[in-house]
Structure 1
Amino acid sequence: MSAYATHTDEELVRLIKTGDTAAFTEAYNRYWEQLLALGYYYTHQKQAAEDIVHEVFTSLWARRTELPIQSLKAYLATAVKFSVFKTIARDKRRRELQQGMNIPEHTTDVEEKLDARFLQDYLNGVVEQLPDKARLVFTYSRAEELSVKEIATKMDLSPKAVEYHMTKALRALKEAVKKIKFFFV
């Protein structure tokens, strides 16, 4: 058992950001099997899944100081899914080229859908990390399309309090998007 085995994911993330290789190794050992299973679930190829997991951890280490990680497990799982979908799209294009076919025009649509799916998963993770009231206000407003007045009544809050919590949620989402915009350049 490593000295880091009892550390929480949050502690590991903090240590990884400072360049602690032992904390990184603990994160790898803690999650590589689950991530490999996730990658294999989507690719049905052990080697491809291993490559993707390796790529995700390499990327985590290379960009450790700039990544907006709120939940290590959720971040890694989302990164694996995103890499799987990118790999599938890239392999499809490669096969089409090898077969002498033109790349269909809808390929960029596929990539855009994958980017949108990654962004949605990421933002859902950010919403889950919001304080309870901000999360509920945001969910009622966006998912259930309730008005400020309806939310205030439902949550027994003043309309100003609802607006405050909505502003808090939107600011958190805006900051989260700023932190990952390099994925979509």
Structure 2
Amino acid sequence: MKNLSDSQLYVLIQKRDYVAFDKLFDRYWDKLFKYAYNILADQQQCEDVLQEVFTSIWEKAPSKNVEYIPAYLYNSVKYKASNSIRSKKWHLDLDTIDLSDVTDDESLEIPSEDCRLVLLEESMSQLPPKCQEVMVLKSKRGLSAHEIAAHLGISTRTVEGHMQKGMKLLKASLTQVALFHLLKQSYFFYLL
């Protein structure tokens, strides 16, 4: 595998060869991480972007022909990083908001644990199918990434990518629910 070109590795990936995928991943991870870091300057965001790019490659390879792998990878990272910047511009981090004035008010309802579980279930049902399947195996059956990979017949890195994507989407979804709950309670002005 070491002597195979990127194009040869990609042909093997199209045939669902995990070893070829791992080789391409290892060959480009560091370079792409540095490239993404120059754009985002945030380690966690860079890791998220790269996981999305490599997960996308694995999922789309059988139906997508790519002629020049490096250009495809760098363009994908650039596109995902740009999307990350755009979405971050409108992201409101509720952890940074001082709600001390709000929490003293007796009219603020904190959702019960049952309600939170229902919200979590609803959010999980909105995940992409494969991502949802991985998250269910992880959260409800307690399987490790390696066990999930063996169960689904995919690589451990793909499972990790799905778990990372799932957690990111769940966090965003539940953050929106929390924000909606605050707005519903007429505390919008405390956020300004």
| TM-score, scaled to structure 2 | 0.47
